[in-house]
Amino acid sequence: MSIIETQRERTDLPLVAVPNIVDSMLEPFTSTLDLLHDIARVRIYTDFTLDEDTLVERMDGAKAVIVIGFHVSDAMLDRVGDHVECFAFGGTGVASYINLIATRERGIRVCNVVHYGNGAVAEHAVALIMELARRTGRMDAAMHIGGWHGEDGTSLENKTIALVGFGGIGQHVARIARGFGMHILVWNSHLDAQAVHDLEATPVDDLGELFERADIVSLHLPLLADTAGLITPEHLNHLRPGTIFVNTARAEVIQPGVLTSRLQRGDISAGLDVFDAEPLPDDDPLRTLPNVVLTPHVAWRAEAAYASLTKQVTQSIAAYFTGESFNVAN
């Protein structure tokens, strides 16, 4: 573990702590630090940890914290709330990582990032679809072991994809799907009529009907009070045998346990990048299912997304200390 510090001698400036960082984010993040020159000093810990005691220790004395890859639990908030004045969250779904009500009650600002990884997440969702449709990864693994065993694939042309959520990421998936010659169904609580028209999508008001008509279902909802547990066992029971189900959004938009139960029936397949518990426990039953492709919450991890994310969190910290507002979530 190493520590990178800026303006170390400027003890008159407030401290910003970065207690965790993904290796690939270090270069784009350090390139944004000029935005905090003469505003705040920064301390970056270059290794990654989820140990709460270590994270709290690394926040010691900081007035602002950049949150990357870890949850600020209520217990952690109690331990650092006497000195932290601003959290800048680098990711999607800030409400599932930081208690926005508790921070607001304490007078702690929480900032998020917006539209930083639309392309990255959309492409990862399509990568999961492609793997489930053509099994290239599984065949590659088999070829490296030895032998010459192929598998039949599924063509995406003329298939119907249902997008649950039609914001920036959902619309990006729709653009890719059009390139494959797919039919697009969309559900969203507030649809962008122009985007629906431009992408030749068909709105469907009822989720059960949406699921029943789809060959592929891909979730692109933020986790909010009205989306938590939105998808029920009844909705999943509408999936026809052979349907591909993809979630690169948040696991919590599905009622707990019901997707695992549906997948254990074995007649549908799924590509999942998000889970109720992260990291996914080694003994989680999802790991045993041959009809599931799993990735460890990495859909957002791409160079363009890193550049946008790191710039936005730095801008939000600079705005806080200069009395301005930028990407405030609470």
165-197: per-residue pLDDT in tens?
999 999 999 999 999 999 999 999 889 999 999
pLDDT > 90? residue 95: no
What pLDDT digit, counting tens, does each position of 289-299 carry?
999 999 999 99
> Do the first three CATH levels of 3-116+302-321 and 118-294 match, i.e. the same topology?
yes
pLDDT > 90? residue 239: yes
What pLDDT digit, counting tens, does each position of 205-215 carry?
999 999 999 99
Q: How many residues does this entry show for the chain?
A: 330
Q: What is the pLDDT of residue 329?
A: 93
CA gap 124, 270 in Å, rounded: 13
CA gap 146, 167 in Å, rounded: 44
Per CATH, the homologous superfamily of domain 3-116+302-321 is NAD(P)-binding Rossmann-like Domain (3.40.50.720)
Structure tokens at 75: 């217990």
R_g over Cα of the chain: 21
Looking at the DSSP assignment, which residues form a beta bridge with residue 292?
A: 270
CA gap 326, 46 in Å, rounded: 26
What pLDDT digit, counting tens, does each position of 49-81 carry?
999 999 999 999 999 999 998 999 999 999 999
**pTM for the full model?**
0.87
Give the mean pLDDT of the chain: 96
Angle between helix 303-321 and helix 118-134 axes, rounded to 10 deg:
150
pLDDT > 90? residue 223: no
Taken in order 61, 101, 254, 204, the sign of the CA dihedral is negative
- Residue 234 a catalytic site member: no
Q: What is the pLDDT of residue 151?
A: 94
Q: What is the pLDDT of residue 91?
A: 85
Q: What is the pLDDT of residue 69?
A: 87
Given the residues 220, 250, 262, 301, select the one marked as catalytic: 250
Select from 130, 96, 101, 137 the least CA-distant residue to 275. Answer: 96
Q: Check residue 14 and report its DSSP letter.
A: P
Q: What is the pLDDT of residue 224?
A: 85
What pLDDT digit, counting tens, does each position of 241-280 carry?
999 999 999 999 999 999 999 999 999 999 999 999 989 9
Q: Mean of the pLDDT values across residues 138-157?
A: 96
Given the residues 10, 106, 213, 297, select the one marked as catalytic: 297
CB 172 within 8 A of CB 119: yes
Q: What is the pLDDT of residue 22?
A: 86
Per CATH, the homologous superfamily of domain 118-294 is NAD(P)-binding Rossmann-like Domain (3.40.50.720)
Q: Mean of the pLDDT values across residues 99-127?
A: 96
- Residue 297 a catalytic site member: yes
The residue extents of the domains of the chain are 3-116+302-321, 118-294
- Residue 79 a catalytic site member: no
- What is the pLDDT confidence band of residue 225, given thresholds at 50, 70 and 90? confident
CA gap 45, 1 in Å, rounded: 7
